[in-house]
Amino acid sequence: MDTVEFIAKYGVTRKQTDSLKWDALEERFGSADLLPLWVADMEFKVPDGVTAALQERISHGVYGYSQIPANYFPAFAAWQKKRHGVLLQPEWLRFSRGVVESLLHLVQIYSQEKEAVLIQPPVYYPFANVVKLAGRRLVESPLKQTATGYQMDLVDFEKKIQEEQVKIFILCSPHNPVGRVWSAAELTAVLEICQKHDVLVIADEIHQDYILQAEPFISVLKVADDAFLKNVIVVNAPSKTFNLASLLNGHILIPDDSLRRQFDRRIGRFSQSENSLLGLIAGAAAYETGEEWFDQLLTVIRQNYHYVATTLTEACPQVKVGDLQGTYLLWIDLSQVCPSEKLETFIKDECGLAVDFGSWFAKESGGFIRMNLATVPRNIEKAVAQLIQGIQKGVKEND
């Protein structure tokens, strides 16, 4: 199957399907008449093997209490080994209803009230929400914008850890929204600092499969062989890779025995959740049968990225499109186009788009937008045309 066939077969419209992205526009953005490229899910149907597995179970018609299907761990572990060279042990795995919920639980389990949790903005905004919701102290070590892209500021990072007595660092890897895939050297450096100061690293690796650059993704479970396994917990899920977010199935990987015992002792206090049977069935089928589908999807995302990067910057050289090493979320700098305080109105009213705004990720990022590229090319072409039109109109009016 080539890309054109993939798009024809799996591309979908989602209006009036209770889609948050498409059907909550009025509520979230004040107008239903916008082209949505915000929340991180996709306009693609899942792999055929997932639909078949769900249909088979639905035709049985029973959704009683369930156990983890026997094929789940082998399918998940085989995917991790093949795609990322990560060797998972079955005892590491715990389940949750999703990554954000996992983060909330983990922060509460591994820190006390008012203790400090560090994040690296601009970063996926639920990280900050989770820390605040848990009653912990939010400490920020912002990424640095350099001539070669966003970098971690390791001097500031270590200084903040010492000054604020940080207990937990939430790492976003690959990084949403700046699109960085951290190198082995960067990960080693940051993990060494955390080890030195006894800071637990919770790595959100939900975007791990979306690697657009030639160099591979490196999990914290693999960096420097297993040098850091005592000090890391990974959260991930099949939901981002296979468009399964609403089936509420996420993973928590805890390699260290004593951290795992602590997790098991504490989790029952605030979570009694059963696993989502349909989420587990879909996840196992996706890992088992979804690889070709996923590789086609990645090609579509690459093409969409290439299209935005060339078309937008040719028409509007003042726009800076991020270097998308990983994720399907493109970070676009519009600070030379429109003042930050007017950007939201400009994007909605002049361009007819609903995107994630930079200010949601960090107050210093008010000049940016985050565009979701995991959609059919016609949506991307339309969005770019609307953006160019809005920018050119704005430029003319300001002349």
Query: Is residue 284 part of the contact set for ligand PLP (CB under 6 A)?
Result: no
Query: Is residue 19 part of the contact set for ligand PLP (CB under 6 A)?
Result: no
Judged by DSSP in three states, 244 sits in: coil
Evaluate whether 205 touches 166 at the Cβ level (below 8 Å). no
Query: Is residue 365 part of the contact set for ligand PLP (CB under 6 A)?
Result: no
- Which residues in the 111-150 window bind ligand PLP by CB under 6 A? 124
- Distance between CA atoms of residues 384 and 75, nearest Å: 38
Can you tell me which of 176, 208, 325, 372 binds ligand PLP, judged by CB under 6 A? 176
Of the candidate spans 22-30, 49-57, 92-100, 269-277, the one that interacts with ligand PLP by CB under 6 A turns out to be 92-100
Containing 252, the helix (H) or strand (E) segment is strand 250-253
Distances, alpha carbon 342 to alpha carbons 102, 346, 362, in Å: 35, 6, 16
Q: Are strands 329-333 and 320-321 parallel, antiparallel or unpaired?
A: antiparallel
Query: Is residue 245 part of the contact set for ligand PLP (CB under 6 A)?
Result: yes
Query: Is residue 242 part of the contact set for ligand PLP (CB under 6 A)?
Result: no
Query: Is residue 384 part of the contact set for ligand PLP (CB under 6 A)?
Result: no
- Distance between CA atoms of residues 151 and 105, nearest Å: 28
Among the residues of the chain, which ranges form H helices? Answer: 3-10, 20-23, 25-29, 48-60, 72-84, 99-110, 126-133, 154-164, 184-196, 239-242, 257-267, 277-289, 291-315, 340-345, 377-398
Query: Is residue 325 part of the contact set for ligand PLP (CB under 6 A)?
Result: no
In single-letter form, the type of residue at position 149 comes to: G
Segment 3-7 long-range contacts (CB within 8 Å, at least 24 positions apart): 3/296, 3/299, 3/300, 3/303, 6/293, 6/296, 6/297, 6/299, 6/300, 7/300, 7/376, 7/377
Query: Is residue 40 part of the contact set for ligand PLP (CB under 6 A)?
Result: yes
- Distance between CA atoms of residues 55 and 51, nearest Å: 6
Closer by beta carbon to ligand PLP, 217 or else 346: 217
Query: Is residue 204 part of the contact set for ligand PLP (CB under 6 A)?
Result: yes
Quote the distance between the C-alpha of residue 158 and its chain's center. Answer: 25
Can you tell me which of 25, 200, 206, 234 binds ligand PLP, judged by CB under 6 A? 206
Can you tell me which of 108, 120, 239, 241 binds ligand PLP, judged by CB under 6 A? 239
Closer by beta carbon to ligand PLP, 246 or else 311: 246
Closer by beta carbon to ligand PLP, 204 or else 209: 204
Closer by beta carbon to ligand PLP, 121 or else 390: 121
Q: What angle do CA 40, 46, 50 make, to 5 degrees?
A: 130
Query: Is residue 193 part of the contact set for ligand PLP (CB under 6 A)?
Result: no
Closer by beta carbon to ligand PLP, 98 or else 390: 98
Of the candidate spans 18-26, 97-105, 146-154, 376-384, the one that interacts with ligand PLP by CB under 6 A turns out to be 97-105
Closer by beta carbon to ligand PLP, 243 or else 304: 243
Query: Is residue 355 part of the contact set for ligand PLP (CB under 6 A)?
Result: no
Q: For 153, phi and psi rounded to 5 degrees?
A: -95, 90
Query: Is residue 234 part of the contact set for ligand PLP (CB under 6 A)?
Result: no
Closer by beta carbon to ligand PLP, 100 or else 229: 100
Can you tell me which of 99, 143, 168, 347 binds ligand PLP, judged by CB under 6 A? 99
Tell whether omega for the bond before 317 is within 30 degrees of 0, i.e. cis. Answer: no
- Distance between CA atoms of residues 106 and 267, nearest Å: 9
Of the candidate spans 54-62, 93-101, 369-377, 385-393, the one that interacts with ligand PLP by CB under 6 A turns out to be 93-101
Closer by beta carbon to ligand PLP, 316 or else 329: 329
| Residues that bind ligand PLP in the complex, under the rule CB under 6 A | 40, 98-100, 124, 172, 176, 204, 206, 237, 239, 245, 250
